[in-house]
Amino acid sequence: MGHLTATAAPPSPPRVTSPPRVDGELPMAGQPSVPFVEIEALRVREFIPAAKEALTALIAEQGQAKLIRPVFNWAGRNSLFPLHWGLACCAIEFAAGFGARWDAERFGVVPRSSPRQCDLMIVNGTVTWKVAHKLITLYEQMPEPKWVIAMGNCATGGGPFRTAYSVVPGVDKLVPVDVYIAGCPPRPEAMLDGILRLEQLIRERKE
Amino acid sequence: MLPADLEQALAPKLGARLVGVEPFEGMAGRVRFRREAALDLFRTVREDLGFTHLSMVGGIDWVDHREVFYVVWSDEANQYLVLSTDLPADDAHVESASGVWPSANWHERETWEMVDVTFDHHPDLRHLLVPDGYVFHPLLRSFKLHEPEELEVKSRHV
């Protein structure tokens, strides 16, 4: 949130500006206004009190929650842990997405085997009524905040099995879905695109 | 093993309860029996004729009646054999084979929920593929494809 500028100029009072920017990221449309503090200091021993003063002023001006939220969202969207489970053929594409060729881990997406370590559930396949309550149990075990991606046509709306006797016509009848990925099955690129769109949703998240 | 051999072995034990033995493509034959003979037939086929492995159990809805069939395998004869019985549609029940071939357990559960044939003295007759409380028997001819919402409301399974 700050940087050191090695200049010979005497330390000036901290200036608080607010361009829409988070460290290391390009400004994007629809992004909430994130305060940016610019501090000019010569040495570390000057920087620390100046930074403390600037942050105190910023918190007094804007409120703590508003400042913490972007940091929280930034941390959350860069370490999405999906639940590692497979329902049907989309799970093959899901698995391929974490292989060497597409390598979803470069986005911080690491599948975990326990729902208690996850904040993302990728429903990758046909959900039957028989497995529906197990899906709900897994979803309820995930800690808040949590998101759901419906991957493929079956999870989105039942797919070709929509009128079948045993298939849930869309997983949004069971859990709230944030991102739908079309395809039968979608390629790993589509899954990665869905995850990046979810990251965009989290970036814009206010509460 | 030929149909004539099967009939020779089975007829003295079952008598009139044996409807007949027909040839069946690629198998030792097809034994048609009345459902009163079920347990006797299963024991004879397994212990005397050596068909020790039950490969599958299935059911067919012929609208006016229902049929249950058992496909058994003999390592000695290197052959399959089909046992089948016809049941009235309004009173479809037959003795369970799971006392003779334990592998019949899940196959009979599936047959029960799909074509609504009850297996008497089954150790654990409950739903296998569809959830508990499901009111339909999807492989019956009378079952129509439902709109999902209708199915959901009628079954109340979740």
Domain CATH for B96: 3.30.460.80
Instruction: State residue B121's pLDDT score.
Output: 93
Residue B115 has pLDDT above 60, yes or no: yes
- Mean of the pLDDT values across residues B9-15? 90
Q: What residues does A149 pair with on adjacent strands?
A: A122, A179
Q: How far, CA to CA in Å, does B153 sit from each of A88, A170, B134, B156? A: 26, 15, 11, 6
For residues B90-112, average pLDDT: 94
Same domain, A97 and A176: yes
B155 chain-A contacts, CB cut-off 8 A: 129
- Res A27: pLDDT: 46
SS percent in chain B: helix, strand, coil, step 5: 35, 30, 40
Q: Is residue A82 part of a domain?
A: no
Average pLDDT over residues B43-55: 93
pTM as predicted: 0.73
- Mean pLDDT value across residues A67-86: 86
Residue ranges making up the domain that contains A149: 90-203
Kindly state whether residues A48 and A98 are assigned to the same domain.
no
Cβ pair A150, A178 in contact under 8 A: no
* Inter-residue contact A64 to A73 (CB < 8 Å): no
Query: How many domains are contained in chain A?
Result: 2
Whether residues A32 and A123 fall in one domain: no
pLDDT score of A32? 52
> According to the model, what pLDDT value does residue B153 have?
54
Q: Which B residues 8-37 touch A at CB under 8 Å?
A: none
- Distance between CA atoms of residues B89 and B71, nearest Å: 22
Q: Which two tokens stand for residue A156?
A: 């989105």
Q: Does B152 touch chain A (CB under 8 A)?
A: yes
For residues B126-154, average pLDDT: 78
Query: What pLDDT does residue A72 have?
Result: 83
Give the pLDDT confidence score for residue B143 in this predicted structure: 86
Q: With cut-offs at 50, 70 and 90, classify the pLDDT of residue A191.
A: very high
Give the number of other Cβ atoms within 10 Å of residue B76's Cβ.
10
Q: How high is the pLDDT of residue A22? A: 47
Segment A48-69 mean pLDDT: 81
Q: Which residues of A touch B116 (CB under 8 A)?
A: none
Cβ separation A165–B136 shorter than 8 A: yes
Looking at the predicted structure, is the pLDDT value of residue A102 above 90? yes
Q: How many structural domains compose chain B?
A: 1
The pLDDT mean for chain B works out to: 89
Tokens 């974490």, residue located: A98
Query: Per residue in A6-38, pLDDT tens?
Result: 455 555 555 555 544 444 444 444 455 556 667
